[in-house]
């Protein structure tokens, strides 16, 4: 996947909104940011850190917001995306980050706010943003419970080897970065007992410097590998 450089919110807001037609009404990145931020603040949450990436001459944007809600050494994140060239719909996804090692992951499942069709004015965008944030708060709560629950699944050496193989087979760990992953996992083991939680932490530590787009892709595959492990352990 192509690497995407981080940029500032001011640069994101400067990308001009294309002219729209009767059937296609692109919405600027700035309008999406403002509408979703209004919905987040309606829940009494603040955005304490913002990160953005642009792609395809600025037409596609992905951002992450670290929210003021915290849990057991971690916090909530929201991933947001917008396209002004018909690549995908406006959408948001749930995420978490671990403060001590700056790991992050996303649910990989986007809640669509709206496709860029006719009838998308600012009032409608705000209304739909409030509905989407309602859904993402529930998703964040479920993701937090799932993430902290990984500590309940011990992982011995044999299980670690098998799960690592599964993760490489499914694309959650790039085989070319196997040795890097082993080092990342050992760093996680220094912080927590060996479990599915430390395995998950090793992978998210490995991918944390990737582009924001690719982290969502890896996270989705990693969650699938972890869910398979949980199912086998049940």
Bridge-based pairing of strands 74-83 and 60-71 is antiparallel
Which pLDDT does position 98 carry in this prediction? 83
Question: Angle, to 10 degrees, between the axis of helix 196-207 and the axis of helix 157-170?
Answer: 40
pLDDT for 121: 72
Buried b (16+ CB within 10 A) or exposed e, 21-46: eeeebbbbbbbbbbbbbebbeeeebe
Q: How far apart are CA 170 and CA 154, in angstroms?
A: 21
Same-domain pairing of 170 and 218 = yes
- The answer to whether the CB of 33 falls within 8 A of the CB of 54 is no
Helices (H), the chain: 9-13, 29-42, 122-149, 157-170, 178-189, 196-207, 212-233
* pLDDT-flagged residues of the chain (< 50): 1-3
Domain boundary among 113, 148, 183: 148
203 within domain boundaries: yes
Residue ending a domain, among 148, 163, 185, is 148
Domain extent for 22: 6-148
Q: What's the CA gap between 189 and 154, in Å, rounded? A: 12
Same domain, 35 and 94: yes
**pLDDT at residue 118, as a whole number:** 61
Q: What pLDDT is attached to residue 86? A: 83
Q: Which pLDDT does position 38 carry in this prediction?
A: 93
Q: 144 with 155, same domain?
A: no
CA angle 62, 104, 229 (to 5 degrees): 120
Instruction: Count the neighbouring beta carbons within 10 Å of the beta carbon of residue 117.
Output: 12
Are residues 16 and 129 both part of a single domain?
A: yes
Tokens of 49: 């850190």
Predicted structure pTM score: 0.85
Is the same domain home to 12 and 38? yes
pLDDT per residue over 83-98, tens digit each?
998 888 888 999 998 8
What was the pLDDT predicted at 210?
Answer: 83
Are 139 and 160 members of one domain?
A: no
Contact indicator for 117, 24 with CB cutoff of 8 Å: yes
| CA within 13 Å, CB half, 140 | 27
The number of distinct structural domains making up the chain is: 2
What whole-number distance in Å separates Cα of residue 215 and Cα of residue 170? 15
Residue 1 in domain: no
Is residue 188, in this structure, part of any structural domain at all?
yes
């Amino acid at each position: 996947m192509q690497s995407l450089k981080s940029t500032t919110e001011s640069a994101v807001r400067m990308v001009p909104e294309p002219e729209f037609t009767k059937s296609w009404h692109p919405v600027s990145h700035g309008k999406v940011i403002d509408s979703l931020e209004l919905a987040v603040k309606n829940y009494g949450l603040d955005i304490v850190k913002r990160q953005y990436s642009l792609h395809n001459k600025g037409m596609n944007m992905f951002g992450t917001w670290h929210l003021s809600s915290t849990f057991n050494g971690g916090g909530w994140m929201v991933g947001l995306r917008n396209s002004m060239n018909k690549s995908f719909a406006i959408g948001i996804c749930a995420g978490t980050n671990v403060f001590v090692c700056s790991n992050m992951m996303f649910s990989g499942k986007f809640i669509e706010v709206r496709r860029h069709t006719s009838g998308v004015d600012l009032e409608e965008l705000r209304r739909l943003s409030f509905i989407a944030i309602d859904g993402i708060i529930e998703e964040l709560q479920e993701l937090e419970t799932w993430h902290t629950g990984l500590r309940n699944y011990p992982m011995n050496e044999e299980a670690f080897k098998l799960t690592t193989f599964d993760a490489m087979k499914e694309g959650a760990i790039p085989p070319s970065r196997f040795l890097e992953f082993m080092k990342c996992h050992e760093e996680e083991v220094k912080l927590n007992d060996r479990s599915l939680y430390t395995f998950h932490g090793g992978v998210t530590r490995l991918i944390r410097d990737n582009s924001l787009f690719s982290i969502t892709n890896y996270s989705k595959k990693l969650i699938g590998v972890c869910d398979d492990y949980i199912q086998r352990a049940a």
